[in-house]
Chains A and B, each alone.
Chain A
């Protein structure tokens, strides 16, 4: 039997207060597709960062192609033939595909970059593996799936034989996932070894040759896909039953809480123009909006919030026309907002939690005292309530937000928006990047907000979440709502077809 491509034995990595990897063993055979499964926080990414030289293990040994290695930096890992495609793409938007690929590994003669040689090389790499991208296209013009291909070619260009893909399918629609899987099989045939992180179990079962499951920093099992079901894997991952997004009996009422009519918003190079004829949300209803990212969801949210102003059309809250109102007046009138990017729109990372707990509500009770003043004591009290009710794990109300893990930051935001007495909640990707436990908690909170009679707009890339939670589903494509579907009789596949425009509403 040949040497395994990667062999990790007893790898342990401690961070202050947590053991991220605890005596982890991993054996990846040469030329196989090996899936690494586990909840967020199970230690998958840490393990891969160690293998890629971004972090150093405290204990344990690593063997790559039969040779013991000890990487001090990714450069050394790359030299050993290991490449990594990160979950968040590391591409320069204003560079071309070609420039991005050669960045840091420019083929040059006498200090002058040899673009022609690079272009030839990239095209041959692309042809060889069926990875099709135009070298001279600007990266900002590429779709998510294409960007991912650029990342993969970038890694191959540097001579990687062992590829690490960190949650490659998280950002893709089903059709793009199939394309990715075709590419992965192609790479395998060419003799590459692929390690990929994923927690969508049906995908793992479809593509992987071997599956290793991590839980709380430990290897719990290495299995073959033919021997297990998705249910078995889920249990291995969480050690208990997997929560599912599901709503109970309908709580939809006749009362319209939010209505968007004949909306016309101008676009630009980077922003999608909107043309939304009717979007209605009732009290006690969750309206899901499905769509490939970048089809106007962000612009729609910003228009409802009042950050962006329409050329024509109206936004009505509880029957009042708020189209010309400021963001603050809308928030005071009862619009809550869970932003898609919590670091960009939702938090003041360097500010203490109590200041974060009042963000978006700083002009309202209980945070205001005598009109002009803020009330830190009341804010701390409100923060403690959120921490308690939403199980935010934190040493206190005065630690800065950046100290919290992503899941706890998200729980703080969800708690903040649900504690407020809003009538409408815009939840954009509310469970993105948080672990299964926190995810289930957020789902439960959305459901209870729905029961309490709030109207909720749910935007998500997780199709199961959308189908499971929504009372009604809209599909957004190129700035318009192109289809309205009943979540009870639509599959993720069908939804994906609508999202890419492959299928049109009848």
Chain B
């Protein structure tokens, strides 16, 4: 294995090992036998149904991670993925339930609606940043509250809902023509959970993200702004336009985050709709170092941990919150490990450059 690849892989692996050691200690303190507990988790975690669920739940985590990463690439901290996807999923669910279209068009309309809402909500932060100098962290936090609070209020019937369903906690369901087809045939078709087809969209998004960032002029401008805003400006990158652009792109992807669940499982937006995926995406992007493939690894890891850990409670080993500890330790140690690897890489690069000069002297 090449040195570069080793430097890229060592930090996450080391962090993972470290996280398991720390959680084992926590488990031991809480009175459980860590070997038994983790044994159960691994045994349960490799079951086909758990793996299907892992893929299902990694999908929104991945989309969320990519949405956050687009912002990170130009030093924008889009904390607002949470509000963007909640609002997008809610409105898309509403729109989807009202439409009567043939299958492919119906799903496409819902997806486009969600992306549009996500982009608008994120673009609002970008617009406030460039016109009113409001920091995106502040505006996205506020917009999160407005989106999530607004959606919950609506569902709780605080607003008068005209069709007299104000005591219901869910919107009208989306008809079957607006469901995303499952991929159950891939896993034999007899698992308890469906394999959501939306994972394919996530793959497309990942590939598009990779090429957009690394191979297009727009991606270069975004990265240049993130790496050195002053230099980018002098090179002809319009800082304001780029900020809005990055927020809109981030929002487009953020709008998709709620759709795997909406189109693959719940088919309606209710109070039980999953929240918190936007914040989880920040961690996933961090672990993946904003790289398309890295984010996939982070998403699969977090997806698997959250699914496989369910067994802890079932078997009475420990509360599943132990997983939150594992995730927290992974995030912290991965950040530290990356910075150590980065320092090492810098020293190596300086050595190589010095050697290049030395040879010619």
Contacts and interface: CB of A to CB of B under 8 A. Distances in A.
Contact of B357 (A18, A305, A331, A361): A18
A415 to B, nearest CB: 16
Given A327-B236, A331-B235, A393-B357, A373 B352 contact: no
A374 B216 contact: yes
B346 A405 contact: no
In the complex, which range does the number of interface residues on chain B fall in? 20 to 34
A351 B223 contact: yes
Nearest to B356: A395
B215 A17 contact: no
B351 A327 contact: no
Interface string B212-242: 0001111111011001101111111110000
A402 interface: yes
Contacts of B224: 348, 351, 359, 362
Contact of B220 (A18, A332, A344, A362): A362
B48 interface: no
Nearest to A18: B354
B188 interface: no
A483 interface: no
A329 B221 CA distance: 15
Contacts of B227: 348-351
B346 A402 contact: yes
A390 interface: no
Interface in B182-219: 215-219
Name which of A329, A359, A376 has the most chain B CB atoms within 10 A of its CB. A359
Contacts of B237: 327-328
A389 B94 CA distance: 63
Given A16-B351, A348-B224, A374-B220, A362 B234 contact: no
A395 B231 contact: no
A17 B355 contact: yes
Contacts of B357: 17-18, 393, 405, 408
B349 interface: yes
B236 A372 contact: no
B353 interface: yes
Given A345-B230, A348-B228, A372-B217, A360 B354 contact: no
A327 B234 CA distance: 7
Contacts of A368: 217
B217 A399 contact: no
Interface in A85-102: none
B217 A363 contact: yes
B352 A403 contact: yes
Contacts of B350: 16, 402-403
B99 interface: no
Contact of A374 (B215, B228, B236, B353): B215
Nearest to B219: A374
A400 interface: yes
A305 B234 contact: yes
Contacts of B355: 16-17, 395
A347 B227 CA distance: 9
Contact of A403 (B220, B233, B346): B346
Given A17-B355, A344-B230, A403-B353, A327 B238 contact: yes
Interface in A183-223: 216
B233 A307 contact: yes
B14 interface: no
Contacts of B349: 399-400, 402-403
A326 B237 CA distance: 9
Nearest to A329: B236
Interface string A433-474: 000000000000000000000000000000000000000000
Contact of A16 (B216, B221, B347): B347
A394 B356 contact: yes
Name which of B230, B233, B355, B356 has the most chain A CB atoms within 10 A of its CB. B356
Contacts of B215: 373-374, 376
B352 to A, nearest CB: 4
Contacts of A52: none
Nearest to A360: B235
Interface string A323-350: 0001111111000010100001111111
B358 interface: yes
Contacts of A216: 361
B175 to A, nearest CB: 38
A345 B230 CA distance: 5
Interface string A2-20: 0000000000000111100
B312 to A, nearest CB: 41
B360 interface: yes
B233 to A, nearest CB: 6
A326 B234 contact: no
A285 interface: no
A151 interface: no
Contacts of B230: 344-345
26 contacts: A17-B357, A307-B234, A327-B233, A327-B235, A328-B238, A331-B236, A346-B231, A351-B224, A351-B227, A355-B220, A358-B220, A359-B235, A360-B234, A361-B235, A362-B220, A362-B236, A363-B236, A368-B217, A372-B216, A374-B216, A376-B215, A399-B353, A400-B349, A402-B349, A408-B353, A408-B357
Interface of B: 215-221, 223-224, 227-228, 230-238, 346-347, 349-358, 360-361
Given A16-B355, A362-B217, 20 more contacts: A16-B347, A16-B350, A17-B358, A307-B234, A326-B238, A328-B237, A332-B236, A344-B228, A344-B230, A345-B231, A346-B231, A347-B231, A372-B216, A376-B215, A393-B353, A395-B355, A400-B346, A402-B346, A403-B346, A403-B353
